[in-house]
């Protein structure tokens, strides 16, 4: 369960201060898929960064599995990210010069998974996105859709409880995007994981259980979720 309590993040200082997210609260139950929608600059990315501990709002709490990740020490937050959550980005961020295997292996190395267990896990993740035959190919030789599937393999290899996806299909055509979405939703359903998608795409949003609309740093509407503390 992810509990977001009254978080506020301000960029800049004094006259230049800009409130990116303003007193946002909501709760996401386990094994839920949630879409966060909003125009660019609305604060949806900042919200995602705050929920994953990448960014630190100056006010509020983000409670995941009972602990406030904003109060954890940096090392503990790193550990949290390495073991419990993962990311998918619009621009894939696969390492072009490394093999598919090494790309997927990185989160396992970071999480200190012993070498002996890595091979089997990496291959299982690559098989899940149907890229096992590309194991030894360099990531730069893949097509856009394949790169994003590789990114999904990288995101699921460590069996995270929460996946953050930032415009996962934004750089893909609708057919390829649809395939990528299917892989993503399949994993989440099978594992009972939580998926948080930041997107513009109404169609993608409609596949999610819940939906949060952000406008000017505030929640403008919230559906399918506990509205505790949400401002209308």
Partner 1 sequence: MNTLDIFRRAGRSLKQAKARTILTSLAIGVGAFTITISLAGGQGGRDYADAIVNSNTDVRELLVTKENEDADTIPEFEPNGAGSARAAAGGGGGGGFTRGLQFISLDDVEKMADINNVTAVTPSFSPAVDYITTEGQKKYQATVSPFSPSVSLTFAAGSTNGNLENNQIILAENFATTLGFTNPADAIGKTVQIGATKQRTVFSGAVAQEFSYEVAAVSSESGLAFRSQGSLLLNETAISQLYTFVSEGTSGYNRFLAASVIVAEPDQAEVVKATLEEQGFTAQTSADVLGTVNTFINVLLGVLLGFGALAVITSIFGIVNTQYISVLERTQQIGLMKALGMSQADVGKLFTFEAAWIGFLGGTIGAGLAVIGGIIANPAISRALDLGDISLLIFSPLQVLAVIVGLVLISIVAGILPARKASKLDPIEALRTE
CB distance 64 to 185 below 8 Å: no
Separation of alpha carbons 124 and 113, rounded Å: 15
Q: Which two tokens stand for residue 85?
A: 């959550």
Query: Could you tell me the smallest distance in angstroms from the CB atom of residue 228 to partner 1?
Result: 27
Which residues fall within 8 angstroms of residue 113, CB to CB, at 6 or more apart?
Answer: 121, 158
Separation of alpha carbons 167 and 205, rounded Å: 11
Q: Which of 87, 101, 183, 187 binds partner 1 (CB under 8 A)?
A: 87
Query: Could you tell me the smallest distance in angstroms from the CB atom of residue 88 to partner 1?
Result: 11
Q: Which of 44, 81, 134, 211 binds partner 1 (CB under 8 A)?
A: 81
Which residues fall within 8 angstroms of residue 97, CB to CB, at 6 or more apart?
Answer: 138, 139, 140
Q: Which of 83, 176, 186, 220 binds partner 1 (CB under 8 A)?
A: 83
- Interaction of residue 187 with partner 1, rule CB under 8 A: no
- Interaction of residue 10 with partner 1, rule CB under 8 A: no
Query: Could you tell me the smallest distance in angstroms from the CB atom of residue 125 to partner 1?
Result: 14
Among the listed residues 28, 27, 33, 36, the one whose alpha carbon sits nearest the alpha carbon of residue 209: 33
- Closest to partner 1 by CB, 97 or 221: 97
Which residues fall within 8 angstroms of residue 203, CB to CB, at 6 or more apart?
Answer: none
| Per-residue binder mask for partner 1 (CB under 8 A), 111-130, x = binder | xx--x---------------
Residues near partner 1, by CB under 8 A: 49, 52, 54-55, 74-75, 78-83, 86-87, 89-91, 93, 95, 97-98, 102, 106-107, 109-112, 115
């Amino acid at each position: 369960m992810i509990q977001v309590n009254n978080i506020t993040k301000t960029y800049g200082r004094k006259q230049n201060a800009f409130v990116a997210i303003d007193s946002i609260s909501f709760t996401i139950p386990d094994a839920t898929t949630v879409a966060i929608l909003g125009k660019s600059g609305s604060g949806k990315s900042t919200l995602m960064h705050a929920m994953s501990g990448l960014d630190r709002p100056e006010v509020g709490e983000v409670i995941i599995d009972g602990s406030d990740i904003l109060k954890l020490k940096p090392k503990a937050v790193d550990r949290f990210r390495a073991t419990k959550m993962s990311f998918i980005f619009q621009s894939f961020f696969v390492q072009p010069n490394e093999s598919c295997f090494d790309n997927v292996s990185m989160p396992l190395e970071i999480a200190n998974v012993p070498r002996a267990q890595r091979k089997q896990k990496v291959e299982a993740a690559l098989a899940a996105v149907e890229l096992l035959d590309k194991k030894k190919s360099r990531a730069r030789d893949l097509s856009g859709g394949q790169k994003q599937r590789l990114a999904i393999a990288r995101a699921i290899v460590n069996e995270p409880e929460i996946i953050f996806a930032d415009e996962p299909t934004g750089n893909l055509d609708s057919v390829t995007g649809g395939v990528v979405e299917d892989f993503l939703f399949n994993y989440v359903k099978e594992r009972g994981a939580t998926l948080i998608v930041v997107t513009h795409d109404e169609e993608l949003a409609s596949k999610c259980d819940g939906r949060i609309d952000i406008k000017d740093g505030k929640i403008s509407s919230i559906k399918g979720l506990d509205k505790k503390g949400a401002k209308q």
